Amino acid sequence: SYELTQPPSVSVYPGQTANITCSGDTLEIKYVCWYQQKPGQSPVLVINQDYKRPSGIPERFSGSNSGNTATLTISGPQALDEADYYCQAWDLVTVVFGGGTRLTVL
Amino acid sequence: QVHLKESGPRLVKPSETLSLTCTVSGDSIGSYFWSWIRQPAGLGLQWIGHISITGKTRYNPSLKSRLTMSIDSSKNQFSLNLTSAAAADTAVYYCARQPYDALDFWGQGTPVIVSS
């Protein structure tokens, strides 16, 4: 079965850029989405089809997908961006999630 | 705005069937795929499966033997039945809309405990 691998945690200072990676075999041929989940809340879609931001998602969120790695980038993260982030891909058969990355804004 | 709401028993006995329903408002269930996802406490997300209005289903291979999904367009609802429930099925269960590759609207989630 297809697997997506994320680092368990990423820490960043407010003025920096947070990069959260998601790795999978030939991932670039699939569309990758990213979700933000805060404690006690449902996941929220923040990036769709590799790089598209749904309505209402701040511009500081961006995405890319190349080779075997997709990346969620948060430029100038704020305290309210502290959350778990999950990548997800669909191989036209099953939906697969990465294990999730806890983002800490120091 | 699209809203989804899960409903069903919060306590299920081991070996019994875990049954949940998702009610959709703000959109016709005649469009797209409709997914179930679960999340054990403190752990990550697991996709369970999805169904379309035609009744076409795709299931997570690890759950396929115990899983049945159905859809009722007259009530704008879709449902999940997971047989032979075990403690490992204890989780928060979410329903979500899946237009193509992403899950763009999610329900609030409902916790289900499998215990005697």
Say how many CB pairs under 8 Å bridge A and B.
58
The mean pLDDT value of chain B amounts to: 96
Looking at beta carbons, which residues of chain A come within 8 Å of B50? 95
Nearest C-alpha neighbor of B34 from the set B78, B93, B92, B73: B78
Q: Which residue has the tokens 């997506």?
A: A4
Note the pLDDT of residue A35.
Answer: 98
Judge whether B91 is closer than 8 Å to chain A, CB to CB.
no
- Mean pLDDT over B75-89 rounds to 97
Each residue's pLDDT tens digit, B36-81? 999 999 999 999 999 999 989 999 999 999 999 999 999 999 999 9
- Return the closest-CA partner of residue B106 out of A22, A64, A88: A88
A→B contacts (Cβ < 8 Å), by residue, are: 1, 30-31, 33, 35, 37, 42-45, 48-49, 54, 86, 88-90, 93-100
Calpha distance B18→B9 (Å, rounded): 8
Query: Could you tell me the two tokens for A30?
Result: 């699939």
Q: ∠ CA(A38), CA(A42), CA(A46), 5° rounding?
A: 75
